[in-house]
Chains A and B, each alone.
Chain A
């Protein structure tokens, strides 16, 4: 069973702080990693994709990948109340077709 694990939270951070979201995966051959944001009742929205070890930055978001340790993380700088959502970590399966999702981490940014 190929698993993607996330802390379900809720993770509560004050406005302006850094939110750190973590994800571990079990399939060592995974090559593609994604973070999606999902507001309640809405569909998942792509935040970041990352394929290589190291950091990838896009605005206030930084994704970090460590294949040796099999974890991927998402940092959100200067967190805003509008960032309050569930963040889904997704990993491509070996077949390439399916995304294996974690259960999601609920983030609450308090004013």
Chain B
């Protein structure tokens, strides 16, 4: 089983809202990732957690705040987003940081 789940599937939020994206995997993977993907572009890495510790932050604005409460769960907290932040947000996990990454279905975010 290589399933990564993400909720919600779709999210519409205003620029003053606070919302959270959730990602979950039960494969015992120790690395989890957040990517952002705009239309007709490849995924762009945002954050990497390895063994529940933040390993990489790709210079992401502070209006995006990741959290890894345990080894199975990854959250992305959103606050004061801009319309240009509208995108598909993808979560991925891998057994270890250098191994094959499996993507969840994504959350389609629209910021109004």
Contacts and interface: CB of A to CB of B under 8 A. Distances in A.
Q: Chain B interface mostly helix, strand, loop or mixed?
A: loop
A26 to B, nearest CB: 15
B102 interface: yes
Interface residues of B, number: 24
Given A43-B106, A97-B55, A98-B48, A32 B42 contact: no
Of B41, B45, B90, B100, the most chain A CB neighbours within 10 A belong to B100
Contacts of A96: 97-98
A97 B98 CA distance: 6
B102 A32 contact: no
Interface of B: 2, 31, 41-43, 45, 48, 50, 55-56, 58, 88, 90, 97-106, 108
16 contacts: A34-B100, A34-B101, A43-B106, A44-B90, A44-B103, A46-B100, A46-B101, A46-B102, A88-B42, A97-B31, A97-B50, A97-B56, A97-B98, A99-B45, A99-B101, A103-B41
